[in-house]
Amino acid sequence: MAAEQEDRFAAAREALRHDSPLWTIQHLDITCDGCETEPIVGHRYKCCVCEDIDLCGACMRALVAARVKMSQEAAPRPAPPRQGGRPRRWVAKLHSRDLAEKWAALQTAVPCLHPSHKFQKVLEGPERAVVFTAGQNAGSAGSSGSSAAEASPGAGGKEQQQQGQQADAAAAALAAVSLQEGSSDAAAAAGSAQLSDSDQLEDFLATFRPSACSCSDVAWLVVEVGSSSGGGSTQPAGSSGAGSAGGSSGSGSSSSTRATEAGASLEERVDAAVEEWEKLAASGRKLAAADVDRLAAEHRITKGKWMLFARSGEEADAAWPAVARAVCGAAAGAGQPAAAPLCGSAKVSSTAPPPDNSHVFCCYVENYQDAADVQRVCRGLQRAVPAGLLQDKRLLFKPDIYTYLGIYSRNEWGIKPSTHEARLL
């Protein structure tokens, strides 16, 4: 039985190991330690020496370039301590005319600069989502970590590709990392460019069926609408928002104050909302859904999702294409016209270990306080998903802020965890 399951997951697992113009990989809740982008999209590299250092493809290339420059300007140095240790006034030493001193300071502050810190490309693991984006050119929509210029290089693209190849060669010489790209990527991109959005979506759906994807390989299968398709901004794939909402503090202002600023990130806004919620809870007064709505509006955390439920892989395989086509505005079948995209994005969970055979679908709306839009998406799902596909006919709507605040079933505040309910027709 175990061998049969492994065979069932083998095709999707192999597809995830390769770049494709049809999809991207998002590494959920993984922050790049170079540019602090979360999640890492595309290629992810992990240091084999440091315990928790991850880099995106762009930062990996920058690190390789820095190593090349260091090898040209300074003599080799012994490896720094494993955990590193910032030397005093190391920033000032970066302006030193003594190149050896400058690189010694940098290398102590950033131990991964040393060529003994080998990086490995992450090709597997559960903390990932595979994402199809509708409404983009094939070259820019999919290659995991590869730009459109790399897939189909013009004059500037060729120069970028040449620089990338030089960085790859330098990395290999330093025994640091292999950034080899598959030789078939360009051909795949060229072939994919000839397909319509609907055809590309069908290829994606055929490659990644919920029942054929293990949660040990990928957490979510995601479809989203590109900005050119009129679907609006989309939810970060596979996650309902801000990764970890751990507290962060700064001198002179609370996180609540900082989060009201226009440039605050989602994570900062979630931190501030949680902080304010905890203060309200500590005050002793009874909390209600209206308090949650106020926090959502104040901190601009207004996304929400309609949820559907499949009790088996077979049900998920049958319903997911209907949901995905509706979200992307794709034709439901041969000869049928395409429609406007239903919403910004949707996702379905992969297969959990037995005996759990269930799957959950999430279809996102931008503003859960826009009741008309919430109901519009609900009606679209009722039209798209025949009731006979799922035994569980429920449609439940839950704002993302409910998740961030820990409002689940039987919560201590007595707040209902879903704000709207409907049924498949």
Name the more confident of 3 and 324.
324
Question: Each residue of 134-156: pLDDT tens digit?
Answer: 986 544 433 333 333 333 334 34
Residue matched to tokens 């709207």: 420
Say whether pLDDT at 105 is over 90: no
Amino acid type, 135: G
Confidence at 259, pLDDT banded by 50, 70, 90: low
| Residue 106 scores a pLDDT above 60 | yes
Q: Within 13 Å of residue 253, how many CA atoms lie on the same side as its CB?
A: 9
Q: Which two tokens stand for residue 208?
A: 């990644």
Could you tell me which residues come within 8 angstroms of residue 304 by beta carbon, excluding any fewer than 6 positions away?
364, 365, 367, 368, 374, 397, 398, 399, 400, 419
Distance in angstroms (rounded) separating the CA atoms of residues 395 and 390: 11
* pLDDT value at 314 more than 60: yes
Flag whether pLDDT at 335 surpasses 70: no
- Asked if residue 240 has pLDDT above 50, the reply is no
Structure tokens at 136: 């983009």
Instruction: Over range 223-250, report the average pLDDT.
Output: 52
Quickly count helices (H) and strands (E) in the chain.
15, 12
- For residue 104, the tally of other CB atoms under 10 A from its CB is 19
pLDDT of residue 261: 56
Give residue 97's pLDDT: 81
**pLDDT tens readout for residues 170-226:** 444 433 333 444 444 544 555 555 678 889 999 999 999 999 999 999 999 999 998
pLDDT at 19: 92
pLDDT of residue 77: 82
Lowest mean pLDDT among 70-79, 94-103, 146-155, 367-376: 146-155
Confidence (pLDDT) at 79: 79
**324 pLDDT higher than 80:** yes
Helix, strand, coil fractions of the chain, as percent rounded to 5:
40, 15, 45
What is the pLDDT, as a whole number, of residue 52? 87
pLDDT at residue 53 in the model: 92
- Who's near 142: CB < 8 A, 6+ residues apart? 19, 20, 21, 22, 23, 24, 132, 133, 189, 192
pLDDT on residue 89: 59
More confident: 51 or 323: 323
Share of the chain above pLDDT 90, in %: 59
The pTM (predicted TM-score) of the whole model is: 0.79
| Cα–Cα separations (whole angstroms), residue 158 to 22, 43, 57, 347 | 22, 20, 18, 36
